[in-house]
A and B are shown apart, each in its own frame.
Chain A
Amino acid sequence: MKRFLPSLLLLFAFLLFWELYCRIGNISKIFLPAPSDIIRALFANIELLGMHTAQTVLEALIGISIAIILGVSLAIMIFLFPRMRAAVYPLLVLTQTIPMIALAPLLLIWFGFDLLPKVIIVVLYCFFPIAIAVTDGLSSPDQNAVDLLKSMRATTAQILKYVRLPSALPMFFSGLRISVTYAITGAIVGEYVGAYRGLGVFMQTSANSHAIVLVFAALAITAAITLLLLVSVSAVERIVVPWKKV
Chain B
Amino acid sequence: MNSLTSAKLVVKNISKSYGTSDKKIGVLSNIDLEVNSGEFVSIIGPNASGKSTLIKIIAGILPADSGSVSLSAEAVPHGHFHFSKSEYRQEKSVAPHGHFHFSKSEYRQEKLVAPHGHFHFSKSEYRQEKLVAYMPQDNALLPWRTVEENLLLPSDVREIPRGAMREKVRILLKEYGFLQYASFYPSALSGGTRQKIALLRMTLHEHSFLLLDEPFAPLDALSRLSAQQWLLGLVKKRQGSALMITHDIREAIFLSDVIYVLEKSGRILEKIRVSLPKPRTHEDLGTPAALDLAKKLFSLLLPAQI
Contact = CB atoms under 8 A, between A and B. Distances in A.
A220 interface: no
Given A153-B129, A158-B157, A162-B157, A144 B136 contact: yes
B156 A151 contact: no
Given A153-B128, A243-B143, A147 B56 contact: yes
B187 interface: yes
Counting contact residues on chain B (CB < 8 A from A), the size range is 20 to 34
Contact of A162 (B129, B132, B156): B156
A93 interface: no
A147 B134 contact: yes
A149 interface: yes
A72 B137 CA distance: 31
Q: Which of A151, A166, A244 has the most CB of B within 10 A?
A: A151
A152 B104 CA distance: 14
A241 B187 CA distance: 13
A142 interface: yes
Interface string A9-23: 000000000000000
Given A144-B138, A242-B185, A149 B144 contact: no
A88 interface: no
Nearest to A241: B144
A207 to B, nearest CB: 48
Contacts of B136: 144-145, 147-148
Contact of A163 (B60, B133, B142): B142
Interface in A123-168: 142, 144-145, 147-154, 158, 162-163, 166-167
A150 B157 contact: no
A229 interface: no
Contacts of B157: 149, 152-154, 158, 162
B154 interface: yes
B140 A142 contact: yes
Contacts of B137: 144
B61 interface: yes
A142 B140 CA distance: 8
A151 B144 contact: no
A241 B153 CA distance: 18
Contact of A151 (B125, B134, B142, B185): B134
B61 A166 contact: no
A169 B158 CA distance: 24
Contacts of A244: 143
A144 to B, nearest CB: 4
A162 B142 contact: yes
A148 B186 CA distance: 16
15 contacts: A147-B56, A147-B59, A147-B61, A147-B134, A147-B136, A147-B140, A151-B61, A151-B133, A152-B154, A153-B125, A158-B157, A162-B157, A242-B185, A243-B144, A243-B187
Interface of B: 56, 59-61, 125, 128-129, 132-138, 140, 142-144, 153-154, 156-158, 185-187, 211
Given A158-B157, A162-B142, 5 more contacts: A145-B140, A147-B56, A150-B61, A153-B157, A243-B143
